[in-house]
Each structure stands twice: as structure tokens, then as C-alpha cells.
Amino acid sequence: MGDVYLIRLDDKGSPRIDGSYIKLPPPFQPYTLRFELEGTSTLCSGTSNVFKTNAPLSKQDKFVRSQYRSIDLNPDWNRSIQVDVPIHRAGAFSWFIEQQHEGESEPTRTQEYFFDVEPALQVHGKKLPLSGLCLSSVVSKWMGPVQQWEPRLRYLSGTKKYNMLHFTPLQQRGQSNSSYSLYDQNLLADDLFEGSESLDAQQRLDLLAKHVRQMEDEHGLLGLTDVVWNHTANNSLWLQDHPEAGYNLENSPHLCAAYALDTALLEFGNKLQEYSIPNDLTSTADLDKVMAGIKEHVLSAIKLWEFYVIDTKSIEGLKYGQSQIDLGDVSASSSLKQKADKALELGCVPDHEYLNDRFAKKVDLQLFSAFVSALSSEADFQNEAKRLLDEINLRFYQEHDADQKTLLEQLYNRIKYVRIDAHGPKSGPISSSSPLIETYFVRLPENERTAKQSKGSLALACNGWMWAADPLNDFAARTSKAYLKREVIVWSDCVKLRYGKQPSDNPWLWQHMEKYTVDMARVFQGVRIDNCHSTPIPVASYLLDKAREVRPDLYIVAELFTGSETMDVIFMQKLGLSALIREAMQCNSTGELSRLVHIHGGRPVGSINATDVPQLDERGEKVVLVQSSPLGALFMDCTHDNETPNQKRCAEDTLPNAALVAFSGSSVGSVMGYDEVYPHILDIVAEDRHYSAEPNGICDVRGQLNTIHTDLGSNGYSEMHVHHEGEYITVHRVNPKTLEGVFLIAHTAFSKHDGRGSFNDVVLGGTKAEHLLTKLLVVESIQDRSTKEELLGLKSSVKDIDPPRIESTGEGCKIVVPEYFPPGAISIIKTSVPSMFGASKEDDLDEYVRSGADEAVSNCNLIDLNVLLYRCAAEEQDTVGDGAYEIPKYGSLVYCGLQGWMAPVKEVISKNDLGHALANHLRDGTWPLDYLLARQKKYTDLGGFDGLAPVTKWLESRFGAFKEKVPSFLRPRYFCIALHTLYTAARRRAISLLSDTVRKGTRFSQSLALVSLQMQGIVKSASLDPSQSKASLAAGLPHFAVSWARCWGRDIFISLRGLLLATGRHDEAREHILAFATTIKHGMIPNLLDSIRTPRYNSRDSVWFYMQAIQDYVTMVPDGQSILSERVKRRFTPYDDTYFEWDAPEAYKHESTVLEVMQEIMQRHATGLHFREANAGPNLDMQMSDKGFDIHVEVDWTTGIIHGGSQYNCGTWMDKMGESERAGSKGKPGTPRDGAAVEITGLLYSAIRFLITLNEKNLFPHTGVKTADNKEVSYKQWASLLKDNFERCYYVPESPEQDNKYDVDPKVINRRGIYKDLYKSGKPFEDYQLRANVPMAMTVAPDLFDPAHAVSHLNVADAHIRGPLGIATLDPSDWDYRPYYNNSEDSTDEHTSKGRNYHQGPEWVFPMGYFLRAYLHFQIAAQAMSPEQAVRQVHQRLAEHKLEIDRTPWAGLAELTNKDGQLCNDSSPTQAWSASTLLDVLDDIRALSLKHKTA
């Protein structure tokens, strides 16, 4: 169904975009809006989870705003959920997610979110994008009868080339004759038709519809008219039948005080002479007399305070009576003020916040009696009640005083403005025709028609507007006192309409206005909402919905002045407005106008954003990522409400102002009379002449400007550059595909002079220019030529003047403005880029650069892709002798391959940041292109990377298409498109080569899987074979990338399950297992492989992770057991501790199968390991003390637990050796972890159980081992020893009463309900430290653990040591806790100097995977959570990882963080095991989901 637009939702159902407004393109062809939500989101946690949208799901469905279609959200533990909504109509739509939870009666729902769809406008069946719309406003009564429109329509469309006409309201006008004060909304005006007296309402409507159709058919003009919903004329006859349609004294009694004041002010104004007050105000002294009179004769007379206070007589007869009442902290001893506050809080005076009629505030006698009785004795009851009522009334009097002060200020300022101020209208003497104040109320006549109405209903509030009012609050509602305080700038000819919130609140009014609106929508292609900011949103949305029923692609513009973009967005998204009216004539300077043109212009030239580059959803489908949209504008050079250029600037500015607006990228418009250079704004009420169709002013060039605007909008000229220089503004509109453009130079005329002004030559790099027109508006006279019958404007015309000189330069052109180019002149120049890539003009450079990338990478294998995508500087230097690229003012890229470039490229694209350091660098030169090509060639020349050759050719051709052939300002655009395209193709190719679970996984799981490509690659200085270069797995980048630091036995085999097995890279996993099998010595694998040349055996745990990896390989790989019989040549002699060099004659003389290697490992540990490291000394490890090179490992055959290490070395993964001589910590391990590390015990048990299983399947010939004293111990016996003793040795019970069942020392216990980290270490308190290691044992050997105890430990760890990304390596409550790692610190603090606290608090990421795997397993095993709950909890704890892997330039997960996930600068920014263990988590979830589905 056409394109797919994608909105990703977060866990609150909110769109993951910057900004709040979403507008989608017009559905000329239907397309799909796709919502994507994580399958484990909490929004899928209910018994029922439903995505609801009111967007119709089929073309036949009717849109009903309150009718939501439901789409079930079925949780998916492995993938995101996608909801596709077909888009085939314009409008305002919303969505939310609703959940029903077990045990709750009502469903919960998210916030409601909105998206708008633009209307698909067409003229003569041809698409008209909103950016190509040119509108002219006409005051309908000045057009004459419809039968006389023809010459004016011909003039507007033929000469001036407008494609839409905006008609002010065409309805019968009220007594003021204002076009916006309508007598009857459903009766068209008499003067709209010749012979109107013979036409009824329907005939008039039909005749208008006929003429509007002819407008389009014969003149290509669409029609738009105003809808006025806020008010009706003060003499609308239907008000006498339906006074309830307005705010009257019956349905709005809060207006009674305002009405009394208004009436008294009118009467006072008529009696000024009687009071000896001047009626012709010429000074503030005169006004002071008026104000004194108002105080004496109005405010005193009407007793305004009576509307505020309670009549004290109303509590006479109040009786004492105790009853239950909650007084809170108020008592008899409280102050009167406190008591009064409490009385009001309890509701003793209902609705006291609102005004009503005189003395309408009443006391709830029963409640007040109970309240006073509770605070007083019966004897003092009456006095207390009176005192309390007086205190309550006191605040009402204070409220009255404050309001009276405000209304006096408002009256003073308004009268002063109207009568005295120089900038005011100076309305002259006060009289019956020019009263002292504008009345706030219409008083309907008392006649036979109104006899059935109550008297109070005949007083109706007038409409108006207020400064800085909240448009969402009704200023006539009872919560407002605006009418009383005289804060409304009133329109006395209009009655404000009172809709309520829904049709049932005022049925006749809603029905009346619905007919009016629907009729206008049937006739016209668009509507303008007058005074939209004062229109209740429920009313506007209801009426627009009805209008769209008859015209789905209705163009809707609004007069909306909220003063807040946030408020504008609320109206836009709820009403689906196409545009907001914005006015160029509001600008007071060239700079201000330039800013407005820029805002409404379009994207900057050379832009790059999400629509320009291919995006993929996690299923590999190409999508367009939805981004926040700017608010659409109808940018008017002048409206019928604006002063003309002749009034506000100079008449000569008419042309440059019009041209600048025409060059904007929005809908544009003008008002009839602007082009004709009318001398001043016309009085829409009093003016009654008709428009002339005689050409004048800029009408001819207006036709050219409108043609250009429509062509630019219709033909994809979506980019724009605006430059302001002095009185000049230049605008360059460019088609980003063809690179053709149109360039405007406008010399504004905010002030009058004849000079050229200061303006520098314009240099357009790589661009060819061709002159189109240069014009100047000449105003011959400032006398208005209008006659008694016709409106004509100032005598003026446009003349040709000498154009700017266009000079060809070596790399483009220079435009030189001539000496005579006065204010009012414009020049338009056509631009083009002569040659883009040697193709014809019709070819699309964008498409060419985006094409062919998938084919180019189709032969790449994963090692090729490691080179293409990644390679840190150290790997690059090691392999081809080069480093990472450095972008000036940005820094070095983290990778030499595409992923390194994607960090700045994504920054440029996501924000269209053309000022980014990368964009600046590309404009300055082509060095990045040269670097990338040279790099590719180095690798292809090196050999072994055959799949890269087609990629090199692709880069050569695509870079060649734009490198030297487009202007430098476009180079960033095409570079970003090319890089993003190739990167996307390479990523897609990589995923296609991985396992089916990766291909079908989430974007997060795919990003984790791609870390295997980062880590697995070929470097010269590290290999899995000492004699040849083989690809190997790095522990992390960039710290562990090359040489001896690349391959760590422990890291590789922790990482092997996730990065190689779960991703389907079984061959690579096999190669690593076999390579390390060749190195077995002392029953151990090397901690540091160093290409098997100088392996180092100093880690006690690595071999057990190796054994686990073999087990994982056998169980996860099809025919995985075949590896057990594979034979490897041994680097050292089996069962012999003799060391020799890798190329010595003794090396590789012996062979073993993997089975034999496994048995050797077990046997050597059974008899004990006691050796000194080969080559021990400072050359091997300059930080180690001499005793640290001695390795001792023993089995305690009373428990089966392996013990080892000493306080002088650190043989587990927590292997930081003290280095600081200054702090005295050199040679002292930060975390020796001697004794029995809990993870080794778990891994040992797992290995033994695996060997038992193999033996039972006849795949392993051995049943046990011999001890040092030659005693045989079967594997089953060994496993039983471990199983029987584990809880006793490791668990720390929650209750001290249980201590006698466990091997614990209460004196050193810090936390309870956890498992020990160590057993019988050299420092007893270290056994009891809460660290990150227990979940490793839980994961590989869950049956060692009591499930309830395991959950207890995990919950403690979750609460105290789990960070956003990692697990803290030490309990924060421990005295050794130091969570900030800084390896360069050389202080006297032995805890932290030289980073000795590496594992004493910093949060390591890879243990998080083990923690979550254990959490998932045991929460379910202990029945603490359902599988669904456990999976959801796990995914919630992965939320930060999902964000981090996308935002880090390394596209991986760090080795560690400091406290609470803070950046650790000394951490490796992407680490193999950090990603791997999280892949393991996701693999467990996948397995659980399969089990769950089967069950």
C-alpha cells in the first residue's frame, strides 16, 4: 500500500521523535502509517492490551472522532509489535493504548497522541501541494453579485495567476454591515445575487455552488470561505427564539453583576451634562472627572458588593446541634481566619468562588450549624456563627474591592485610548451614537416573539477578545470575571455564542451551525476559521468533522493568535488544521521580515534528513521515519486586517514584500487591493464600493510571482536559503534532485530613498545563472484614484530596470547588483548545476547515489564486513599502517569503517545540522571521500578481502558522481546519502549472514549481534595460530584490539555463547575452542593467548568458562557433539608443566581430542595445581610481587569445592593488581578473591553434570577422576558433594536463627538473604561481600540453588547493586566501595590509586547478562512471577542498554561505567562480553517463549 511511515513508540505509548507535532503528507495515493512498540513493553502487560485509533482502517469506514478501532497488541518476547494503519484520507486523528489488568474494574489508558494528514488538493485533476497554493482574499460584498464576478475572476486567475480565492463570509450581514457579524448563518446575503428577493435560502446556496464550480472549471480557482462560529449579529432574529444560544442572565447568572455595571455605565454616560461632567474629553483632567462620577453615580448606586457577599440575615434561626464533622487541624482555639478557611473548604458556602445574582451566595445551614457547633458551646453558638460569617464575608468584600479597583483601571485606560490618546481613534464627544463605553450586552426587545422568554434571558453578552488570554478558557464562563472587570475588548455588534461542550448542551445552536458549516464545505474546497483562538476546541472539532464528511480533503486555515507555539500545536493537532495565517505586514524591519521568510521557507539548501536516506525497520523493510513537523502556514503578504505598505512602510515595498512571500515554501496569499497598491486599509464595515478589474500596481508581475510559486511547490523545490544584508533579502529556492533553482534579490522599502544601498556581490559556487526578470515598482502619485463606485488604488506600475550582471567564475558564477537598484526593486535569476554526474537532466542524482549498494555488498563475508564497517585505529594501524580519520573541530572517528562515520553522519541527518563539523569539512574539501576510497583499496590490495572489490567500485562511481561535479555546499548532502546508503546495505548484509533468530529479532538484538562483527577480525599481530594470520575475537575495542592484549581466554569464552553461537557463527566458535584446546597446560587455558606464542596461565576461572563454552557449543550447534572427537596438536606436552617456545622441536608433537582435553582439565584439578608461572618476573608482569607468580589450586574433597589463589594474586576476572608505589599498593591485588569463588564452583558443577550426561550418552569414556592420593572419585560423587554442600557453604540466611544450619561467621556478616561471593578466602569478611558473581553460578548451575534463596539474593542485588547498564562490583554499603575508576590517578589513596578499585564498585556491564538470566529463571522457578511478568521485568532492566547501543558512536556496550551508569573514561567503550551476555538473555527469552507457546 505505497510508502510506509514509521513511528516508534516508547513504553508510555509516546512517539520517539523530537517535538510534538506530527503531520503526514496528503494521500494522493494511499500509504501506511506503522506504529512500532517493543513486544515486552509494559503496555502489553494486561490481560487485554489494545491499540486504539480513530483513523478509519478501510476506505469505506466513516470517521467518527469518538469511535476508536481496536487492534490487539499481543506480547512478543522476541520482536517488536507493529500496527499498520492505512492512510487514505485527510484529517485529524489520534491514538492511545488501553489495557485491562486482572482485578481492576476499569481499563487504564495512555495519554492520547495525535497525527494530522494534509488534504490532497487538486485543480482540474492535477495535484496541488499546499506549498504551491496561491490565495487571494476578497471581501465578498466588494465583489458584487455572483452574476458580475466573471471579469474579476478572469483578472484574478488570468492576469494575477492565483489558484484559490478566499471569500469573507457571504451570509446576510447584521445591522453593523460587518462581514463578520452575521444576521443569519444559513441565509446568503441579499447583495450577493441579482434578483435575490425571488430566491429562497436553498436557491441562493445552489446558485453560489454553481458559480464556485465554474470558478474551478473555467478559471482554475479553488474556493475558500470563512466560517464564523463564535458569535452572531446582535440583531439576529433567531436570537429572539433561542436566547439560550448566548450567555444570558438566566443560564449565566455570574454575569448579573457585569450587566448591572454595564447598564449603569450607559445611563451615566447619557447624564454627563446633568452631573456637570464634560462630554468632550480632551485631557486626563476631564477623564478624572468622569472617573469620579463613575465612583459616585455608578458604583455607589448599584451596590456592587451585594453580588459578592452573604446576607447576614440568612443565618437567623441557625440552631446549635452536634453532629459528626471532620475539622482536621482546626479547633476552638484556632483563629477566625483559620476557621473561615476551613468552613469554605468544607463547603459551608457552596460555589463561593463564583459570582451570581445579588445575595445569591448562601450558607449551607445544616453544615454550617454542625461546623459552628463543633467549635463553640451552645451558649456562645450564635455569637460564634455571626463572627465566623463576618470573617467569611470579609474576604468577599476584599475580593469586591480588588475587582472594583481593576474595573476602574480598565475603564480609565479604555476611555483614555478611545477619546484622548494620540494613537487612539479619538472618537470625539460622548453621545448616544458614541456612548461613553462600548456596551458589553445586547438587550433583546420585549415583544410578542420574546414574550415566552424570561426577562433575564434577553440580556446577552457580546463577544470580543482579550489580551494574552488563555484560548482554552472561556472568558464568559462562570470561572471568569472578565466582563465585570471590563477586560474584554468588546464587539458590541456581536453576541457571543454559548455552545457548551457537546450538542446536547445546546441542541438548536449545534444543529444550526452544523448546517451552516456543512453547506460551506459542500460549496467550497476550503474554510478559514475566524477567531479560532476563541473557538472551543470541542465545537470546532465537531463542526470540522461534519464538514470533512462531505469534503474529506477540505483545506482548513485558521486565524489563530495564541502567543504560544505549544498552544498552536494543541489547536493544530486536534483540529487537523492545514495552516495558520501568518502576516508579513506585521514585520517592522527588513531583519524581522527575513526571519519570517526563513521560518516559512522550507528546508535549508543541501539538507539531509530521514526522508533522504534509506531506513529499515527491524524486519528489514524500507520505511520513512516520521519526524516532528513544522506548523503549516498560509503566509500572507497582507490581509484585509493589515495596514498596507503605503501606510506602514512605503508603497514601493509592495513588490519586494510580495516577492519574498511568493518565494516561501508554504501556502501563500494576499488580499485584493494589495497588488493594486491601495493607499490604506479599507473599513470592512463601512466600505461599500466594488473592486475594479483594471490592472494597476504589481498585478502583471504578480502573475509571474504566483506562477513561480506554484511551479516551485509542485515540482519539488523544497530547499531554500535566506540571506539578509542591510535592506536586502535574497532567497534561493532549489530542487534537491535536479539542483535547479530560482534566486530572488529583493531590495525592501521600509523607508523611502533612491539609493542602491550596501549589498555585496553574490557568489554561487558550481552554479550557472540565467536572468529571468528585474522589476521596480514606480508609484506615480500618492492620491487614491478610487471612484464613488470602484476601488482602484494609487497610480503605479512596474517597469523593467537593468538586471544584475552575471559573471562566470572558474567554479560557478558571481551576481553583481547594478548601481541603480533602489528600494522596491527585485530581480529573479534561474540557477542550475551544469553537470551532476554526466547524466541527462532527467536523471536523479539522489536515486543514483542510493542505488546499487545491496549488490555491491552482496559478495562480502563477515570478515569483509568487519573491515567495511568497523576497525578501530589500532587494528587499522596494525593491518594497513593507517589510522582513524580526524574531522577538524570534531575529533578522530572511533572506527575507520562506515560505523565510525555514521556517528557524525547521524548527527547531521537527525537534526539536518548543516553547521556540523563534518558538513563544514566536506564543504572545505573532498578529503573524507579520498580517505574512504584509499582505505578500501589498501584492503583489496592486501588480499584476503575479495568481497570488498565491488564496494570499492561502488564508492568510486557514487563519489565520482558528486565529488567534483556539484557545488561544495551540496557535498555534505550527497556524502551523507552515500555513506548512509552503503552502511544500511552493509548492516543488512551482515544480518543476513547471521542466524535466523538474529534476522527475525529486534533492532536491539541485531545491534548486539553486530558486535560480533566488531570483535571478530584479522590483525597481523594477533591470531589463533602462531604461524599464520587467522581471524580472532577481540576482548574489547580499542583497548584490547591488537597484539597480546587482543585475545583473552576468559573474555572469549564468556563471549562465545552470545556473539558466536547465538548469532550462528558456529565455525568461528569452533575455531576458538580448538585453538585454545591446543594450549592446555597445567589443566588450564591461557588468560592471555598472545597468538599462542607466549601464552600466560594465571587465571583460575578461564578454563571453567572454556568448559562451559564447549558445553554450549555441543548443545546449541547442530551436530555440535562432533567437536568432541576433533583432534588438535598440542602446544605443550599433555600432563606435563614443562615450558618451551612455540617453534621448539617439542612443540606440537602430541595430539589430543577435545574429549581428552576436557578429561585432562578435570584430572589436573582433581590432583591439584601447583606451579610457578613460566618466565615469572618483572618482564612478565612488572606489577606482580614475586609470590604472586605462584599458582595453587586444590579440591577440598570433603565438599568437592575447588579452592585456589592467594592474597598475592588475582586469578578470577576481578584481576586488578595494585600498581602505585606512592600509595604503597604495588603488587597488592585489589580483589584477590582467593579461596573458592562462587562462579568457579557453579561452573565446575556445570562441567561435571555435562560430562555425566555425555558419559550416559556414550559420548565420553570417563566416569571420574583420581585424587592426589590415587583415590577414584566418580563424577556423580563429585557432583553430589557439590550439591550437598553448596547451600551450607555459601548461603547467608535471612534470620540469625538459621545460622547453625550454614557455615557462617555472624561477626562479619554485612547483608543477609544472599549468597557469599567466596568461601574460605584469606580475609574472612571478603566471603560475605555482595558482588556481581553469584548470578554467574546461578545461570550455569541453577540446581545448586534453593529457588527461594536465589530470589532473595537477586532481589537484594536488584535493589542495591544493579545500575542502569551494569552491576556494581561491590556493595555500596561495604567500606571498600569506591565506584569511580580512574586508572591515571596516582594518589596516596591505596584504594583508588592507579585504578586499584577497578572491581570495587564500578558497574560492569557483562555481569548484567548473568544477573538477568538468573532473574528470569528463578523468578519463574520460585513462582514469584509468571513467565510474562519475568520477561517484562527483564526487558525493563534492558531499557537503558537499548538506548545506549544506539547512541554511542561505538555501537556497542561499554566494559564498565562508574556509579549509576556515569561515563567511565578509562573503560573500553565496546566490550565483547558486554554485548554477548545480553544476547544470552535474549536467547533465553526466545527459548522460554518457544516453551511457553508449546505449553
**Residue 368 CB-half CA count within 13 A:** 24
Residue 1199, sorted as left (phi over 0), alpha (psi -120 to 50) or beta, turns out to be: alpha
Transcribe 1327-1377 into DSSP letters: HT---S-HHHHHHH-GGGS-HHHHHHHHHHHHHHTB-SSSEESS-TTSTT-
Residue 1434 grid cell: 527483564
Residue 435: count other Cβ atoms within 10 Å of its Cβ: 15
Residue 1302 grid cell: 550454614
The DSSP secondary-structure symbol of 688 reads -
State yes or no: is 1360 an active-site residue: no
Active-site residue, from 88, 231, 533, 1441:
533
Residue 23 dihedral angles phi and psi, to the nearest 5°: -125, 130
Measured in whole angstroms, how far is the alpha carbon of residue 1040 from the centre of its chain?
Answer: 36
User: Do 1314 and 1334 touch, CB atoms closer than 8 A?
Assistant: yes
Q: What is the 3-state secondary structure (H, E, C) of 123-158?
A: ECCEECCHHHCEEEEECHHHCCCHHHCHHHHHHHHH
Q: Is 116 helix (H, G, I), strand (E, B) or coil?
A: strand
User: Do 1155 and 1261 touch, CB atoms closer than 8 A?
Assistant: yes
Residue 729: count other Cβ atoms within 10 Å of its Cβ: 26
Residue 1066: count other Cβ atoms within 10 Å of its Cβ: 18
User: Do 672 and 153 touch, CB atoms closer than 8 A?
Assistant: no
How far apart (Å, rounded) are the C-alpha atoms in residues 11 and 22? 19
CA distances from 214 to 148, 153, 191, 523, 784 (A): 13, 10, 20, 11, 33
H or E element: which one contains 1288? Answer: helix 1275-1290
- The angle subtended at Cα 1493 by Cα 1488 and Cα 1495, nearest 5°, is 90
Residue 1261: count other Cβ atoms within 10 Å of its Cβ: 10
Active-site residue, from 226, 262, 530, 864:
530
Query: Which amino acid belongs to residue 650?
Result: C
User: Do 580 and 633 touch, CB atoms closer than 8 A?
Assistant: yes
Task: For residue 460, give the nearest of 730, 773, 221, 236 by alpha carbon.
Answer: 236
Residue 888 grid cell: 577538524
The DSSP secondary-structure symbol of 1123 reads G
Of the chain, the end-to-end C-alpha distance in Å amounts to: 37
**Residue 546 CB-half CA count within 13 A:** 17
- The angle subtended at Cα 696 by Cα 692 and Cα 697, nearest 5°, is 135
Q: For residues 250, 252, 258 and 262, what is the CA-based torsion angle, rounded to 10 degrees?
A: -50
Is the previous residue joined to 1038 through a cis bond, with omega within 30 degrees of 0?
A: yes
Active-site residue, from 76, 380, 390, 641:
641
**Residue 312 CB-half CA count within 13 A:** 13
State yes or no: is 1299 an active-site residue: no
Task: For residue 239, give the nearest of 430, 444, 519, 522 by alpha carbon.
Answer: 444
State yes or no: is 640 an active-site residue: no
How far apart (Å, rounded) are the C-alpha atoms in residues 633 and 599? 10
Spatial strand order of the sheet with 1367-1368 comes to 1367-1368, 1403-1404, 1456-1457
How far apart (Å, rounded) are the C-alpha atoms in residues 1396 and 1400? 8
Catalytic (active-site) positions: 530, 533, 641
